[in-house]
Amino acid sequence: MKNIKFLTAAVFTSLLFIGCSKDDAPEAVNEEEVITTLTVTLIPDDGGAAIILQTRDLDGDGPNAPVITNGDLATGVTYSGSIVLLNETEDPAENITEEVEEESDVHQFFYTTTGGLDVTTSYDNFDSNGDYLGTEFTLVAGAVSTGTLTFTLRHTPTKPNTGLEDAGGESDIIATFDVSVQ
Amino acid sequence: MRTYALLVLLFSSITTMSQNCDNSLSGTVTDNHDGQLLVGVTLIIANTEQAVQTGFDGTFTFSNLCNDTYYIQVSHPYCLTKGFTVKVSGDTNKSFKLEHHIEELNQITIEGSAYTNKSKTILENTINKEELERFSSGSLGDALKSLSGVSSLNTGNTVVKPMINGLHSSRVVIINNGVRMEDQEWGAEHAPNIDINSVNNLTVLKGASGLQFSGDAVGGVIIAESSKVPVKDSLYGKSMMTAASNGRGSALSSKLTKSYKNGWHATLQGTLKRFGDFEAPDYVLSNTGIFERSASLKVGFNRFDYGMEGYYSIFKNEIGILAASHLGGARDQIRALSSEVPLIINDFTYNIDSPRQDVTHHLATIKGFKRFENFGKLSIQYDFQRNNRLEFDVRRGDDKNKAASDLQLDTHTVLLDLESHLTDAITLKSGIMTRYQKNVANPNTGVRRLIPDYEMNDLGMYFVVDYQWNEQLLLEAGARYDYTHMDVFKFYKTSFWESRNYDQLFPEIVVKELENQILTNPQLNFNNGSATLGANYQLGEDYKLFFNYSIASRAPNSSELFSEGLHHSAARIELGDLSFNSEIAHKVALTFQKENDLFSFNVNPYINTISGFIVNEPVDVQQTLRGNFQVWEYRQTNAQLLGVDVDASYALAKNCRLNSQFSLVKGYDRSLNEPLISMPPVNISNEIVYQNPEFNNIRLSLQSAYNFKQNDYPDTNFEVFMPETQTWEMVDVSSTPDAYHLLNFNSSIDININKKSKLTVGLRVTNVLNTSYRNYLNRLRNYADDLGRNFLFNLKINY
């Protein structure tokens, strides 16, 4: 009988405990790794105004599509390009480029063109093994043409590689811009 | 056994008596508890040759006794043997009382507090201890798959989710030692947190008829029970070791039990399992290792009319998820699909890297029962569970070693059950249940919560009555009501909130608006009714017919209600719906069973019609900065599942049997008139078993399992633009793999070490032919082949 009494007491205690807990509202989570914004700055070596290509998706994997700013290049001009990645869900915005550069061994940017766009690209920065990283690059605009220019950031690619086809790894970013060389 | 020993002892100590005696001793033997006369009780007078048995009237008579004091031993198969000293003086009358129900007492220990019968009108499929021990190094799901109609939804080969007649996750309720498992079971890639070595007996109810457990088991109920402890002074245990070639690992498990005649008992059990990367026939499946640790302690006290038990177990499992399955969007998916081999293949290692899961489950329960005369058996149980699930993703920077998902689910449950025999023919089981659950998602992960913080209160009550109409026919009926209240704090992305029109539909639940998120406080209530009606008819000696109709109602789970965002392990965006109602299933199941030594079989057709069935399927492709992702949205529809399970066993010769199984299930979305996704394909298995108990219980078996190609599936393919080639390419995520055939070999032999210890040595080979195959129900089937050949060497010592 003692056992039963103990059990009854245990049950009521637990019911009491169940009845009394009520917590306050939880805190919001700031997404630390989301890349909301990719900005490519192309500075022409002829001293002209910088060209800005940008894709910005403030709701990350939410339903809104990214907002894309395209730009036009001038034929025959060489541009020094740099890529900045931001997480703008945080305030102030977090610069993700720094993280990518710190982990240069496991990251690489790729530049691909389609539609006959006549531009050539070359890497300007490298990882500790001397393999491509590519947050800085040189772009030479060729003949008059239009097409797309895509920037792909791969996480843990095979290094060295000959391009996207044999790079493997996982795509962290794929940003495509409509570009014309005028 | 002890009775026999005593008998031998007694008979061997006979001495001749030379006295002139003609007195008699007569009387009855009755049950100490209910005063019933006991039939077939053996009474032996020590030091004489005399032994008699009580007849059908419960009486006995000894004759030719002297005026002397005799020592009489009274024994009965279902009672504790007792000795009495009797003084005979002339013709003497004496009645004895025995403690009956020892067998029943053991039964109570097995079944836990309330569950002596699971369901009487649905076929119970069970896996016994011997069969379970063969799966010692595997998982619960691996063992369950050996039953017809039970398959599994796998994520790789270590996350094995049981699937009953085509349904899984929240639709399958798992009862572990009388406790309903609350271990984030809604997730298709969340394996049950039970160590298979702690289970002594596994039962599957393919339906919701076990109302004492739950009312929402749309798919069915799996009941895991630990071993029974005899009511006698004893100390025993067993240790098992399995070493396997595939995964290059082993599993160790030990159990020790101490029991006392007075009813006290204690059992300590533990398991350690460690495997490295598993291998497909042609390559290493990188990052698929597993490290599992578990321990449990049970202490209890059992008497016929009262008893109590405390149980605690901890289960910790670290599971690697195939590296090649972690993808960043549709273009990666195309690369993975078009590649013959996984995109990532590294050298074998024991290390478990991201992506991985690290889950800890605590379960503590205390329960007691008391039998009241003319009232019934009253049981009470309190249990507490804490499930901590960490999921690690491939991450960058400081977050590398930080979990991407960190959920803690605490559950407290109190159960009160009453089992009463209203008459000899009618048994009533009834009870109430109250449960409190709290989920906390750690905000420091740096990733938005997959499952929001919530508190949930449940109240349930049920009754099940069965009526033994006559010798042949048993009827069963029952009903259950459950009330669920959910108090949720959920952050929605403002863009999602508005795109779903929630700002118009649910403006009242907004707590506060942040820059790009909205905090809401949904309060949800669900009232669920469930019922069962069934009959069980014995036809002649060998045949039985079961009929069961059950209604199950299931409240939508937190994932179905609140998912909103990228699910990395599936490379897709998953969206739930706040306005879901409960799904209601009507299942009719028939079983025709024949049981005898030569040939036994059962045929079990069923039809399950579910309204408000919640499916998760692709609807769209969404652009993000990471690339394009397929959007999977939860949707409610009307579904129907039909199928048949067949088991047969035929004695080919002495010691040799052929066991066959066949399962077929078809699932349809009746609203859209298309097949349901992830339905198990037809499968047939045949096994020849040779077992000779006279020759060290040697057992050899060869199993052939054939899995057909699933031809009924919804087309969920989508197209994505490839900038490299400037073409639209089809992402084929829905095609099903080809049929495959596997051969498995199993053998074991018992060796007696001494009187008390037995060694069992076993060798098992799975996928003997090293066949490369992919299984439709493996969520990683698009990225890698399934397991290649595996040699498993087992040692078991019983002591």
CA distance B397 to chain A (A): 6
Average pLDDT over residues B618-634: 81
Cβ within 8 Å, pair B625-A100: no
Structural domain contains residue B457:
yes
Structural domain contains residue B182:
no
State how far the Cα of B330 lies from the Cα of B722, in Å rounded to an integer.
10
User: How far from the centroid of its chain's Cα atoms is residue B126's Cα?
Assistant: 10
Helix (H) or strand (E) holding B459: strand B453-468
Confidence of residue B35 (pLDDT cuts 50, 70, 90): low
> For position A18, what pLDDT does the model report?
47
- Number of Cα atoms under 13 Å in the Cβ half of residue B795: 7
CATH code at position B21: 2.60.40.10
- Nearest-Cα residue of chain B relative to residue A175: B625
Best mutation target among B343, B366, B487, B626 (most A Cβ atoms within 10 Å) is: B626
Closest CA to B696 of B646, B651, B759: B759
State how far the Cα of B77 lies from the Cα of B233, in Å rounded to an integer.
18
pLDDT of B20 > 80? The answer is no
Helix (H) or strand (E) holding B129: helix B129-133
Residues B196 and B138 sit within 8 Å (Cβ to Cβ) = yes
Structural domain contains residue B480:
yes
- Return the CA Rg of chain A: 25
State how far the Cα of B460 lies from the Cα of B478, in Å rounded to an integer.
13
Cβ within 8 Å, pair A29-B491: yes
pLDDT of B605 > 90? The answer is yes
Q: Within 10 A of B171 (CB to CB), how many other CB atoms are there?
A: 26
Q: Could you list the residue range(s) of the whole structural domain that residue B572 is in? A: 225-798
> What percentage of residues in chain B have a pLDDT greater than 90?
61
Closest CA to B578 of B621, B521, B632: B521
> For position B7, what pLDDT does the model report?
43
User: Is A171 near chain B, with CB under 8 Å?
Assistant: yes
> For position B724, what pLDDT does the model report?
65
Among residues B100, B116, B137, the one where a domain terminates is B100
Q: Which amino acid is at B395?
A: R
Average pLDDT over residues B209-224: 91
**Which of A106-115, B73-82, B262-271, B762-771 has the lowest average pLDDT?**
B73-82
Structural domain contains residue B175:
no
User: Could you give the number of structural domains in chain B?
Assistant: 2
Q: Which amino acid is at A144?
A: V
Average pLDDT over residues B468-476: 91
Report the length, in residues, of chain B: 799
Helix (H) or strand (E) holding B307: strand B306-320
Among residues B42, B66, B100, the one where a domain terminates is B100
Residues B683 and B663 sit within 8 Å (Cβ to Cβ) = yes
pLDDT of B780 > 70? The answer is yes
pLDDT of B100 > 70? The answer is no
Size of interface A-B (CB pairs under 8 A): 163
Among residues B62, B78, B100, the one where a domain terminates is B100
The sign of the CA dihedral B39, B42, B45, B46 is negative
pTM equals 0.83
- Tokens of residue B23, six digits: 């007195």
CA distance B721 to chain A (A): 11
- Nearest-Cα residue of chain A relative to residue B398: A99
User: Is B521 near chain A, with CB under 8 Å?
Assistant: yes
Structural domain contains residue B167:
no
Q: Which of A14-23, A167-176, B457-466 has the highest mean pLDDT?
A: B457-466
pLDDT of B318 > 70? The answer is yes
Structural domain contains residue B319:
yes
CATH code at position B331: 2.40.170.20
pLDDT of A20 > 60? The answer is no
Q: What share of chain A is helix, strand, coil (3-state, %, to 5)?
A: 20, 40, 40
Q: ∠B252-B254-B256 over CA atoms, to 5°?
A: 175
CA distance A48 to chain B (A): 29
Confidence of residue B447 (pLDDT cuts 50, 70, 90): confident
Torsion region of A32: left, alpha or beta (phi above 0 gives left; psi -120 to 50 gives alpha): alpha
Q: Which amino acid is at B343?
A: L
Average pLDDT over residues B182-187: 92
- Return the CA Rg of chain B: 30
pLDDT of B9 > 70? The answer is no
> For position B290, what pLDDT does the model report?
96
Confidence of residue B34 (pLDDT cuts 50, 70, 90): low
Average per-residue pLDDT for chain B = 88
> For position B16, what pLDDT does the model report?
37
ipTM rounded to 2 decimals:
0.77
- Tokens of residue B198, six digits: 């702690």
Structural domain contains residue B455:
yes
> For position B104, what pLDDT does the model report?
42
Please provide the DSSP assignment of B507-553 as one string: GGGEEEE-SSEEEE--EEEEEEEEEEEEEEEEETTTEEEEEEEEEEE
> For position B6, what pLDDT does the model report?
44
Q: Which amino acid is at B409?
A: L
pLDDT of A19 > 70? The answer is no
> For position B128, what pLDDT does the model report?
84
> What percentage of residues in chain B have a pLDDT greater than 70?
93
Q: Tens of pLDDT along A65-76? A: 889 999 999 999
- Nearest-Cα residue of chain A relative to residue B325: A170
**Which of A129-133, B94-98, B445-449, B768-772 has the lowest average pLDDT?**
B94-98
Task: Find chain B residues with C-beta within 8 A of A17's C-beta.
Answer: 412
pLDDT of B451 > 70? The answer is yes
Residues B770 and B736 sit within 8 Å (Cβ to Cβ) = no
Structural domain contains residue B139:
no
- Tokens of residue B787, six digits: 């397991």
